[in-house]
Chains A and B, each alone.
Chain A
Amino acid sequence: MNKLLVATTAACALALSAGMAGAAPLKACWVYVGPHNDGGYSQQHDIGRQAVAKALGDKVDASTYIENVPETDSERPIRELAQKGCQIIFTTSFGFMESTIKVAKDFPNVKFEHATGFMTAPNVSTYNIRWYEGRYVMGQIAAKVSKKGLAGYIVSFPIPEVIMGIDAFMLGAQSVNPNFKIKIVWVNSWFDPGKEGDAANVLINQGADILVQHTDSPAPMQAAEKAGIHAFGQSSDMSRFGPHAHLASLIDNWGPYYIKEVQAVLDGTWTSHQAWEGFKTGLVEVAPLQNMPDDVKAMAEDTIAKIKSGALHPFQGPIYKQSTGMPSKETEVVGPGQVIDDKTLLGLNWYVNGIDDKMPQ
């Protein structure tokens, strides 16, 4: 009886959607972990949503999003969107993973896309940005611009994504200055302007003349501006917080991906996949490359072009794990010419050689 009911409903839904094709626009919906205007992570997703509306015009209705969704209570809002007739739903925070999979099971005709996760289903894809590509370029710029050869790095939590960023930054810096040093400070928060600003001041006080952040607020940028040193921004262009300090920001640019995926649903070509894209498809940008000499800018642009073309991979060997002695065969992760594979990168839990700090356990 139940089976029959489900089958009838599915058939009805199918007939309905077929009948509506061409008439009603495709409904694409988003779920954000923060406010749509947080000036950082969630705002970048919202800009991506607006790009879809602009690019696909009246073929798509991209007006629906739910913001401030707690990771602990995300199933209800996602289910609500699916019931409201959303045909593709983007759930944009790592913590939404399990509820996305759960809801997707009950709505086989709705497409789901989950950002930064690893669980998929026939109607669930994952998508993520290769931020480390940008961080490698930032490391190169830092090593060129820093007079003291010392960067301060403000970080949130020791998860692979963050460690990957630190390692990539260091590898980039070492490619320019093998003796480059970083000091790492963990603030145990993605977002606390007061604490991030404090951490920035502490690092400046200890001699860092470049600040890098893997947290969300512009407070470190403001501290850098005040102290007359340089800094990199996070998620969105933070140049207005440090007109003289700002070298570049690591910008999330989700628009091209969202447009591609919504178009695929329109064309009926959408399939489940795991996307991890970077410079090549424009998902990450290191921009606007300012407050630096022209030769540094040229070097950064050249590196970006090489990563785009595949000529350079930030995690290209020889790469050694952190050790007290000289790099040796025991600490070698990959040899010359080899590249660390994606699976290892996604679970990265060690520092590269040259980082003095101890990895938090």
Chain B
Amino acid sequence: MSLPELQGLLLTIITAATPLLFAALGELVTERSGVLNLGVEGMMAVGAVIGFIAGHVTGLSVVGVVASVVAGMAMAALFAVVTLVFVANQVASGLALTLFGLGLSGLIGDRYVSIPGLSLERIHIPGLTDIPLVGPLIFGEDPLVYVAVALAIAVSWFLFSTRAGLIVRATGDNHVSAHALGYDVIRVRFLAVIFGGACAGLAGGYLSIVYSTQWIPNMTAGRGWIAIALVVFGTWLPGRVVVGAVLFGAISILQLNAQGYGVSLPPQFLNALPYLTTVVVLVIISRNRTLLRVNTPACLGQAFVPDR
């Protein structure tokens, strides 16, 4: 494999992993607070369409990115009101949010199908980006890749090195105790859900603005579900979720590459490989049962009604 080929390969892997990483990091924070939001796919779909339209109308892809974040937050707010204020079942509400989001995105985007969109160009720093291999990989990605890396570090730091992060984790592990200590459980969870929505919306925006620069109904193609699975198999640890997302992206690109080189394995098997490998690897690195119990939010999916 030649150097430019390797470079192209690595760049494609990063682009494939980024949307998964955004969505998974958001869901991780949401679940750490004790809320299971299965509506990631729906929030992504709405983020994708709103981001695309905002970019198209204003002619600024940055506006599109911001709009996708806001759209994801709005969808998440809906979920938060239903599950936290009206204490509806989280699983059912999350599934409903996915179905609603996919339908709503189709309705909103009706007139925007098959229009080439704006793209967010990769950055270029004269000198640095021109270094072979390392240059484009480190100094030549699209801006949102850097946002994703920063977000992963920030989420990890927030959850494990700040007081606010400790409160979020406490709420997820034992909402009764957190409440008794005087923390506003509903408020903490509300904010965590909104953060999850912002990330999912951004993941959707990444799909329609960077990854494909077009909008088509159902273009999320199940990536929201993969993100949720990454959180679980990554045992609610940001570092492992990053490993999972990059691994999934890498295998899905490498298998396409293997097909191009004429590897004589059935393509159906190769296409299933990203799922298999990611699950197996994450299960192996998470096989410490004690650590698993420590990291699983004990109150995940349980409704909380303050009694006083």
- Name A's B-contacting residues (CB within 8 A): 34-35, 37-39, 43, 152, 158, 183-189, 191-195, 197-199, 201-206, 217-219, 222, 236, 240-241, 356-358, 360-361
Contact = CB atoms under 8 A, between A and B. Distances in A.
A192 B267 contact: no
B217 interface: yes
B214 A241 contact: yes
15 contacts: A35-B217, A37-B110, A39-B113, A39-B114, A186-B270, A195-B256, A198-B256, A203-B260, A205-B9, A217-B214, A217-B216, A218-B114, A240-B115, A240-B116, A357-B259
Contact of A358 (B19, B217, B257, B264): B264
A39 B216 contact: yes
Query: In terms of DSSP, what is the predominant structure of the interface of chain B?
Result: helix
Interface string B85-121: 0000000000000000000001000100111100000
Interface residues of B, number: 39
Contact of A38 (B15, B216, B261, B271): B216
Interface in B263-281: 264, 266-268, 270-271
Contact of A357 (B19, B213, B262, B268): B262
Contact of B259 (A184, A191, A236, A241): A184
A124 B196 CA distance: 51
Contacts of B259: 183-186, 357
B106 A205 contact: no
B59 interface: no
B260 A206 contact: yes
A191 B222 CA distance: 12
B207 A202 contact: no
Contacts of A158: 267
B8 A219 contact: no
Contacts of A205: 4-5, 8-9, 12, 257
A35 B49 CA distance: 15
A198 B207 CA distance: 12
Interface in B181-213: 207, 211-213
A206 B261 contact: yes
A274 B259 CA distance: 36
A273 B110 CA distance: 36
Contact of B212 (A35, A197, A202, A240): A197
A202 B9 CA distance: 7
Given A202-B12, A206-B257, A206-B261, 5 more contacts: A188-B268, A197-B211, A217-B214, A240-B116, A360-B267
Contact of A360 (B5, B217, B261, B268): B268
A152 B221 CA distance: 23
B262 A198 contact: no
Given A38-B217, A193-B214, A152 B267 contact: no
Given A195-B221, A205-B8, A222-B212, A360 B266 contact: yes
Contacts of A360: 266-268
A185 B12 CA distance: 16
B262 A356 contact: yes
Given A205-B8, A205-B12, A360-B268, A198 B217 contact: no
A38 B207 contact: no
B137 to A, nearest CB: 14
B12 A201 contact: yes
A194 B219 contact: yes
A107 B57 CA distance: 49
Contact of B211 (A184, A187, A194, A202): A194
A219 B260 CA distance: 18
A222 B12 contact: no
Given A193-B219, A205-B9, A219 B262 contact: no
Given A206-B257, A222-B214, A194 B207 contact: yes
Q: Which has the most chain A C-beta neighbours within 10 Å: B110, B260, B271?
A: B260
